Structure 1
Amino acid sequence: MLTKLPKASRDGMKEEIRTFFYHERDEEIGEIAAEAVLDFCLEKLGPYLYNEGIQDAIKLINERNMNTEEDLHSLMRSISR
C-alpha cells in the first residue's frame, strides 16, 4: 500500500527527483519516470523510515515518562514516625 500524500507534496517530491537526476546524473526524466521513482521509494523505503519514526517516538515518550517519574518523586513528602 502506497502512502497517500497531498498532490502538492507529491508534485514537490517529483520535482526534487527530476532535479536530482538532472544535477547528479545529467539525465532529464519526465513526469511519469519521476512518479515511478517516487512510488518505488515510498513502497520500498517508506516502511523503514516509518519504523524509525516510531522508534524515535518510543524513545522520546520513555524519556519524558522518566522525567515525569523523577518530577513526581521530587514532590513526595517525608513521613515522620
Structure 2
Amino acid sequence: MTIEISKEARAQAIASLQRYFSEHMEEKIGNVAAGGLLGFVLEEIGPTIYNQAVADVQERMQMRVAELDIEIHEEEFGYWRKFDKQRRGK
C-alpha cells in the first residue's frame, strides 16, 4: 500500500525539509530534491511508521472493546427485584 498525502501536506513537508536543510546542513536543498527526498521517506520509512500507528490503534481498540462489558453492562432479570425492594421497605 502506497502512503499518500494531500497536496497541501506535501507542499508543507517539502518546505519543512528545505528549512531543515537550510538551518542544519551545510547546503540548501531545492524544491525538486526535497520532493524526491520526501518521496523516498514516504516509500521507505513511511510504512514502518504507518504500521506502528496501526498496531497502536489496534491495541487501544482492543482495550476499549474489552471494557465494553463493564461500561454498558445491564443486570439481567431485574424486574422482580424492584418489587422485592419495595416490599422490604414497607
Same fold by TM-score greater than 0.5: yes
TM-score (norm 2): 0.75
2:55 is matched with 55
Are residues 1:4 and 2:14 paired?
no
Q: What whole-Å deviation, never above 9, does each CA across 1:29-58 have from its counterpart, x for those lacking one? A: 101110111001000111101101110111
Q: What whole-Å deviation, never above 9, does each CA across 1:5-64 have from its counterpart, x for those lacking one? A: 221110100000011111111321101110111001000111101101110111111111
Distance 1:5 1:77 in 2: 49
Q: Which runs of 5+ in 1 are unaligned?
A: none
SS state at 1:26 partner: coil
Contact 1:2 1:39 in 2 (8 A): no
Aligned length in residues: 79
| % identical aligned pairs | 25
TM-score (norm 1): 0.82
Distance 2:17 2:41 in 1: 11
Runs of 4+ aligned residues of structure 1 deviating over 6 Å after TM superposition are none
Q: Which runs of 5+ in 2 are unaligned?
A: 82-90
Distance 1:41 1:32 in 2: 14
Name the Cα RMSD after superposition. 2.0
1:76 is matched with 75
Contact 2:22 2:28 in 1 (8 A): yes
